Amino acid sequence: MFRELLDAWRNTDPLKDMYAKLLEMLETGQWMFDRCWEAAKQGKVEAAVKEDVYRRDIEVNRAERAIRRRIVEHLTMQPGVDVATCLVLMSVVKDAERIGDYCKNVLEAAELEAAPLTGCAFYDSCARVYNDVRSLFEKTRRALAESDVTLGHEVIEEERGIVACCDTIVERLAADDLPSRKGVPWALVARHLKRIAAHLGNMASGLVMPLHKLDYYDEKWLPGVEDRGD
> Tens of pLDDT along 74-133?
778 776 666 777 777 888 899 999 999 999 999 998 888 766 666 677 888 999 999 999
Residue 226 belongs to a domain: no
Q: Residue 156: CA atoms inside 13 Å, Cβ hemisphere, count?
A: 23
Residue 36 belongs to a domain: yes
Q: Residue 213: give the domain boundaries.
A: 3-221
Residues contacting 58, CB < 8 A, separation 6+: none
Residue 229 belongs to a domain: no
Find the DSSP H helices in the chain: 3-11, 15-42, 47-77, 83-110, 123-146, 149-175, 180-208
With cut-offs at 50, 70 and 90, classify the pLDDT of residue 1.
very low
Residue 125 belongs to a domain: yes
Specify the higher pLDDT residue, 49 or 81.
49
pLDDT at 227 (0 to 100): 44
pLDDT at 41 (0 to 100): 82
Residue 44 belongs to a domain: yes
Please give the mean pLDDT across all residues of the chain.
82
CATH of the domain at 89: 1.20.58.220
Residue 192 belongs to a domain: yes
pLDDT at 90 (0 to 100): 83
Residue 186 belongs to a domain: yes
pLDDT at 29 (0 to 100): 96
When divided into structural domains, the chain yields a total of 1
Spatial separation of the C-alpha atoms in residues 25 and 2, rounded to whole Å: 22
Does residue 60 have a pLDDT over 50?
yes
Interval 47-58 mean pLDDT:
94
- The predicted model scores a pTM of 0.85
Residue 196 belongs to a domain: yes
Residues contacting 78, CB < 8 A, separation 6+: none
